[in-house]
Structure 1
Amino acid sequence: MKLCIVIPNYNHTQVIADVIAELEPMGLDIVMVDDGSAVSAQRYLQQLNERFDCLHLLRHQVNGGKGAAVQTGLRWAYAQGYTHALQVDADGQHCLADMQKLIAKAKAHPHCLISGRPVYDESVPKHRYLSRYITHFWVWVETLSLSIKDSMCGFRVYPLAPCIALFDSRALGTRMDFDIEVMVRLYWQGVPSLFIDTQVIYPEQGVSHFQPLHDNLKISWLHTRLFFAMLPRLPKLLLRKPRVDS
């Protein structure tokens, strides 16, 4: 397994230097995709690019969404010869101490998507918490399986070859809907997801780009499309043997 780290970033400057400093001792290349940030943020991210030798900065001229930034980062990683990419968010929500657990599980199951399963504290916004459980239900329907424990956590190790094949075969969501869609469609293609529990916090001064109305509407439309796309796959999904996590 040849691993790098992918960080999508849109105007996140508050804690990103601390995130990179915590990641640097791992000795892995880090690709950060600046997704059309404001000029002041662009300058700051460029300063970080010059400060950290492990950092590779890519830039979208206009904001395309978190999903678009992640796809750009994964394509870059695959083109550089990496087999897997660890996605980390730029806002400090993820418990980076759990990275080794993700990586160890990815090494044991290199053909699976390995994801965090969030354990929340009282900082989680109630609307985010509720929307996750609605999405859990629809993902279980779309896959006819309870094996996907969480489809919205952005703390993941992606196997790159099946991801790039999926990206090349169809256009996926480019915003907050991406995390859900890529997991469901990879499952349909025979790439299961495995999970580790991980603490997720919402920092008091953190900046979230989740728009409750707009993003929940996009996610609802995504589930509608996935449900109808699941129907032709129904016989195959029904015949799939349950997977036992290990």
Structure 2
Amino acid sequence: MKRCFVIPVYNHPDTIAATVRSLLQFELPIIVVDDGSDAPTKAQLAALATQVPAMELLTLPQNLGKGGAVMAGLNRAFERGFSHALQVDADGQHNLADIPLLWQKALEQPLALVSGAPVYDDSIPTGRKIGRYITHFWVWVETLSFSVKDTMCGFRVYPLASCMQLFASKKPGLRMDFDIEVMVRLYWQQVPVVFVPTKVIYPEGGRSHFRVLRDNWLISKMHSRLFFGMLKRLPWLLWRKCRKTS
């Protein structure tokens, strides 16, 4: 395995430096994708790029959305010859103490997508909690499997060869629909999905880029696409399910 980190960033000037520096202990390359951020964030990123030799700054000319930034980072990682990339969000919600366990699971199953399975405390907004349960239901329908436990956590190790195969045939959504869609489509692609429990905290004063109307509409459209995609794959998914239970 040749490993790296990918961090998508959009307007997180207060947390990005701490996030990058906390990863230096792992002595792995870090690809930071500036998704058209504001001036304060760009200033932080420019300073980090000169201070942290392990960091590569990839600047997008305009804001594409989280999914677009992650795909740009994964593509860049593959171009540089990496086999696996661990995505870390820039907002400080992920428990970075779980990184060794994520990497260990990836080493044990190098063909798998290894994802955090969030364990929340009372800081999670009620609307987010309800939205997650709705998405869980639709993902179970789209995969015909309860083994896909959580598709909304962006704390995950991507097997890059499988991702490139997927992106060449069908690019997932560019915004908050990305995390869900890429996992479902990789599952359809017979990529194993492994989950690691991880604590997620919504800090007071934290900055979220989730736009309720826009992103819920995009996620609803995505679930419609995935549902009809499931219908086309229904015989194969049923056969796969029966084979696993036999």
Instruction: Give the TM-score, by structure 2 length.
Output: 0.97
Q: Which residue of 2 aligns with 1:112?
A: 112
Q: Which residue of 1 aligns with 2:37?
A: 37
Q: Which residue of 2 aligns with 1:9?
A: 9
Residue 41 of structure 1 aligns with an amino acid whose one-letter code is T
- String of CA shifts for 1:14-60, please: whole Å, max 9, x gaps: 11111111100100000000000112321221111111111100011
Distance 2:16 2:43 in 1: 13
- String of CA shifts for 1:163-207, please: whole Å, max 9, x gaps: 011111122200000000100001101002110100000111211
Please state if 1:81 is matched with 2:78: no
Q: Which residue of 1 aligns with 2:24?
A: 24
Distance 1:157 1:197 in 2: 14
Instruction: Give the TM-score, by structure 1 length.
Output: 0.97
Q: How does 1:1-246 map to 2 (within 5 A)?
A: 1-240=1-240, 241-242=243-244
Residue 183 of structure 2 aligns with an amino acid whose one-letter code is M
| Structure 1 segments unaligned to the other structure (5+ residues) | none
Distance 1:81 1:201 in 2: 33
> Where has structure 1 moved over 2 Å in runs of 4 or more?
none
Distance 1:173 1:242 in 2: 30
Residue 242 of structure 1 aligns with an amino acid whose one-letter code is K
Which stretch shifts more, 89-98 or 117-126? 117-126
Distance 1:183 1:87 in 2: 13
Deviation at 1:5, TM superposition (A): 0.2
| Structure 2 segments unaligned to the other structure (5+ residues) | none
Secondary structure of 1:242's counterpart equals helix
- String of CA shifts for 1:119-142, please: whole Å, max 9, x gaps: 001111111111011000000000
Q: How many residues align?
A: 243
Residue 32 of structure 1 aligns with an amino acid whose one-letter code is V
